[in-house]
Amino acid sequence: MINEYQSAEVFGALAQQAERLGLATTVVDQLREFEREERRHGVLCGGVVEALGGEARADVTAPRRLPEHPGSAPLEAFLRNVLSVSCLSETVAVALIGAERLEMPDGPLRERLSRIWADEVGHARFGWRVAQELLPLLDQAARTRLSLYLRVALRHLELHELAHLPLESRPPAAGAALGLCSGPDARVLLYAAIDEAILPQLEALGLSAHAAWATRFSADSLLAAASY
């Protein structure tokens, strides 16, 4: 519920960035729709909390910030965020939610998760499509910088996901029966999604994704992160 709410903020900020950049209204409108969808996901998740007897209340004091990348040209800055948010995070979300959905018995909970999953597929596809359309507008130097930025984005993705998939997280039998995944299993899926879906697709876009992944913890990559 909290994650979905924070994702709504991120897509809202991305829509503003696209608008400032003067991108087609279809792109801006899609991002605003994603913002609404993520908010709806939060409500759907909150409904599950309430249905299970909990209280769907949370303090979200620190909104998830979308980096401005002030040192980059506007289109390059936008593409950094599209790659990080849509191509990386949303693609991982599709894999993780898709796996939970497969484990889930038929019923209202599965229907609800299927609706969320379908939207997440749209969020990921948007990123891959927009990256394919906009990357050719950049010169070679900018594409090289984007490949270097991928070290930062991939490291952030990995650390963020691992923090949310603790190794000791093993749902009780009742939870497992509803499709809740174990932390260790989800981590295997995370790395498979990166290896088999994300890195090859980034390479197909002409970015040096494998090199970025291999050097995500290198000293100059950590130094570069300080300026983002």
Site of interaction with Fe ion (CB under 5 A)? 4, 38, 41, 90, 120, 123
Query: From the CB of 38, what's the least distance to Fe ion, in Å?
Result: 5
Query: From the CB of 152, what's the least distance to Fe ion, in Å?
Result: 21
Which lies closer to Fe ion via its Cβ, residue 86 or residue 147? Answer: 86
Which lies closer to Fe ion via its Cβ, residue 8 or residue 194? Answer: 8
Q: Would you say 186 and 165 are in contact if contact means Cβ atoms under 8 Å apart?
A: yes
Which lies closer to Fe ion via its Cβ, residue 4 or residue 161? Answer: 4
Which lies closer to Fe ion via its Cβ, residue 38 or residue 100? Answer: 38
Q: Where do runs of H (alpha helix) occur along the chain?
A: 2-20, 25-51, 74-82, 91-103, 108-134, 140-164, 173-177, 183-193, 199-204, 209-214, 219-225
Query: From the CB of 172, what's the least distance to Fe ion, in Å?
Result: 25
Query: From the CB of 138, what's the least distance to Fe ion, in Å?
Result: 25
The tokens for 139 are 């010169």
> Looking at beta carbons, which pairs linking 187-191 to residues 24 or more positions away fall under 8 Å?
187/162, 189/95, 189/96, 189/99, 190/92, 190/95, 190/96, 190/158, 190/161, 190/162, 190/165
